[in-house]
């Protein structure tokens, strides 16, 4: 399905190389089920089960995990998507994370 977000993400992929990368951080929350967090990582980011489970366990045990890296535009769109799923996600410049 072509949505404005799809267009935005496609555009972000061709962003100039000099752009500062940003990271998406997902924070631990005693409410969100481990099965749900892992499933969100798989279905939204397309990660394998192994990678999604690894990131989910990092969130659970360390309190946070860097789940994606990319241009500011891409990471902002990803953060908005995580909020639609109900996960607590924030973004930050990669060199400050």
Residues that bind other proteins (CB under 8 A): 1, 3, 5-6, 9, 25, 30-33, 35-36, 38-39, 42-46, 74, 76, 78-81, 83-86, 88-92
Q: What is the CA radius of gyration of the chain?
A: 13
What are 65's strand-pairing partners?
26
Considering the complex, what minimum distance in angstroms separates the CB of residue 72 from other proteins?
A: 11
Q: How far is the CB of 62 from other proteins (least distance, A)?
A: 14
Nearer to other proteins among residue 4 and residue 16 (C-beta) = 4
Residue 55 vs 91, nearer CB to other proteins: 91
Exposed/middle/buried for residue 62 (C-beta within 10 Å: 0-12, 13-18, 19+): exposed
82 burial level (CB within 10 Å; 0-12, 13-18, 19+): buried
Q: How far is the CB of 17 from other proteins (least distance, A)?
A: 18
């Amino acid at each position: 399905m072509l949505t404005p977000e799809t267009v935005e993400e496609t555009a972000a992929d061709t962003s100039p190389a000099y752009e500062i990368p940003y990271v998406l951080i997902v924070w631990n929350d005693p409410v969100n089920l481990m099965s749900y967090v892992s499933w969100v990582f798989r279905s939204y980011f397309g990660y394998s089960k192994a990678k999604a489970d690894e990131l989910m366990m990092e969130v659970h045990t360390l309190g946070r995990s860097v789940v994606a890296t990319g241009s500011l535009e891409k990471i902002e769109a990803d953060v908005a998507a995580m909020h639609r799923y109900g996960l607590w996600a924030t973004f930050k410049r990669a060199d400050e994370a």
